[in-house]
Amino acid sequence: MRVYLCKNYEEMSDLAAKTVLSQVLLKPESVLGLATGSTPVGMYERLCRAAEAGEADFSRITTFNLDEYLGIEPENEQSYHSFMKKNFFTRAKIKAESIHMPSGSSEDALAECTAYDEAIAAAGGIDIQVLGIGQNGHIGFNEPGAELSSGTHIVELTESTIRANARFFENEALVPKKAITMGMRSIMLAKTVMLMASGKEKHEALSGLLSGKITTSNPSTMLNMHPNAIIICDEEAYNG
């Protein structure tokens, strides 16, 4: 595991964007695993600027997002579909047919899970998986618990995640209680995983990850077994 300690959010975002840009430069048809949330916004901004300046070409990439709320239409402003459109897909001109996101509104959610795993495999797996980290150590929406699921699955969000994500909604009651998320297998099979952590609230979860110990009560710790994991964090997340 390679750990990069950055001064602040901006430096973390710079390094994360450079890592993704190098991946796409070396392999223009890369399969990118993508995350939503506050953490990667700065990275997406830099990727969009690079695309707009003609310094990066995302025309041949394929993308797979980690997760989506369940029971939410893609057009809903709070959906991760909308987030990705606004923060990356539109400005970076990612082709609609190259974008994959789990559907939160599918009538058959279980079939959707199987189809999602099959689509990732058919694309040849993920080259680089971008990850944030939950305050409770979740990656994607793989929440802490006695067991972790390997495949894409439906998950009940924990109180802590609902509380943390309430900031994106008018009030906490409106945060969906369930989500559909990639499981640990797709994440662990990614050729490279790049986890970003910023801010004091992430200190405890990040410390668990950096301790080198592995526990399902902090799903991010599984990355200790990944052969090519990059952790990019800022001082607040690292020092608390």
CB atoms near residue 126 (< 10 Å):
24
Write down the least CB distance from residue 225 to ligand F6R, Å.
19
Out of 19, 30, 36, 103, which residue is the one contacting ligand F6R (CB under 6 A)?
Answer: 36
- Whole-angstrom distance, CA of residue 68 vs CA of residue 65: 8
Whose Cβ is closer to ligand F6R: residue 39's or residue 63's? 39
Residues 52-71 that bind ligand F6R (CB under 6 A): 66-67
- Whole-angstrom distance, CA of residue 53 vs CA of residue 35: 23
Whose Cβ is closer to ligand F6R: residue 24's or residue 164's? 164
Is 107 part of the annotated catalytic residue set? no
132 binds ligand F6R (CB under 6 A): yes
183 binds ligand F6R (CB under 6 A): no
Write down the least CB distance from residue 36 to ligand F6R, Å.
4
233 binds ligand F6R (CB under 6 A): no
Q: Kind and range of the H or E element at 131?
A: strand 128-131
Out of 38, 76, 106, 207, which residue is the one contacting ligand F6R (CB under 6 A)?
Answer: 38
Q: Which of 132, 130, 129, 128 is nearest to 205 (CA)?
A: 132
Note whether 167 and 190 are within 8 A (CB). no
Helix (H, G, I), strand (E, B) or coil at 171: coil
- Whole-angstrom distance, CA of residue 164 vs CA of residue 227: 30
The stretch among 29-37, 55-63, 184-192, 204-212 that binds ligand F6R (CB under 6 A) is 29-37
Out of 39, 98, 152, 221, which residue is the one contacting ligand F6R (CB under 6 A)?
Answer: 39
Catalytic residue among 127, 143, 234, 236: 143
Is 127 part of the annotated catalytic residue set? no
Out of 12, 13, 20, 37, which residue is the one contacting ligand F6R (CB under 6 A)?
Answer: 37
Is 117 part of the annotated catalytic residue set? no
b/e burial code for range 3-36 (CB count within 10 A of at least 16 → b): ebebeebebbbebbbebbbebbeeeeebbbbbbb
Is 143 part of the annotated catalytic residue set? yes
- Length of the chain equals 240
Write down the least CB distance from residue 140 to ligand F6R, Å.
4
CB atoms near residue 123 (< 10 Å):
16
Cα-Cα-Cα-Cα dihedral sign, residues 81, 59, 190, 186: positive
Note whether 202 and 220 are within 8 A (CB). no
Write down the least CB distance from residue 153 to ligand F6R, Å.
14
Residue nearest to ligand F6R (CB): 132
The residues carrying an active-site annotation are 67, 136, 138, 143
Q: Give contact residues for ligand F6R (rule: CB under 6 A).
A: 35-39, 66-67, 132-134, 138-141
